[in-house]
Chain A
Amino acid sequence: GAVVSQHPSRVICKSGTSVKIECRSLDFQATTMFWYRQFPKKSLMLMATSNEGSKATYEQGVEKDKFLINHASLTLSTLTVTSAHPEDSSFYICSAPPARAGNEQYFGPGTRLTVT
């Protein structure tokens, strides 16, 4: 079946540095990918919609200059957390619906970011 991968699975970085998280669709093309953020024992909150070949669409309250999203190809979207601070520590997870309409959205395994 379709698989979405994320890299890295875990990352620890220092305050002020930037971190890039990759989301790949492995055996299907995804013109759209979604980036979610999840705090411990909380729900998934949609941060932005990544669109191949165009600008991402950010949810209200999400700083687009802080969370840079690039969707350069039909199989890759990247989320860069710029000038990370401890409050950015969270679980980031991407999802991609298959290009042909189906019922399931496929999620990546998630990236746990810790900013020290």
Chain B
Amino acid sequence: AQKITQTQPGMFVQEKEAVTLDCTYDTSDPSYGLFWYKQPSSGEMIFLIYQGSYDQQNATEGRYSLNFQKARKSANLVISASQLGDSAMYFCAMREGMGTSGSRLTFGEGTQLTVNP
């Protein structure tokens, strides 16, 4: 079974509007971390935001926020006020096991976001 599922292969949004990228996950480990990365065409992986399974509040980083619904096992990324430079591939990822910095990440299939002027 897929551990990370991103159901939107592609998304389009108008500049200055908000967009939500979906991510659901599957784990039996009570301790886990969820990440979102942005990958522009250059290939570099840019860290956006992190949510720990025990975090009480939804994570926010500037224009990025993570809508964490633990019971539904979803961790959607919300980008507010989209900019043309936000056009990129976005990956949701999960690390199982907290406190172990060496735990590896499992990635979803990604969502290609295109911001239209």
Cβ of B11 within 8 Å of any chain A Cβ, yes or no, is no
Cβ of B12 within 8 Å of any chain A Cβ, yes or no, is no
Whether the pair A91, B101 counts as a contact (CB closer than 8 A) is no
Cβ of B54 within 8 Å of any chain A Cβ, yes or no, is no
Q: Smallest CB–CB gap between A69 and chain B, Å?
A: 14
Give the size of the chain B interface in residues (CB under 8 angstroms).
26
What residues of chain A lie closer than 8 Å to B52, measured between beta carbons?
A: 103
**Sample of 6 more A-B contacts, CB < 8 Å, known A32-B102, A101-B100, A103-B35:** A38-B43, A41-B89, A43-B107, A43-B109, A43-B110, A44-B91
Which listed segment binds B: A17-25, A73-81, A107-115? A107-115
Q: Smallest CB–CB gap between A60 and chain B, Å?
A: 14
Please, how many angstroms separate the alpha-carbon atoms of A102 and B50 in the complex? 10
Cβ of B81 within 8 Å of any chain A Cβ, yes or no, is no
Name which residue of chain B comes closest to A48, CB basis.
Answer: B104
Q: Smallest CB–CB gap between A81 and chain B, Å?
A: 17
Whether the pair B50, A104 counts as a contact (CB closer than 8 A) is yes
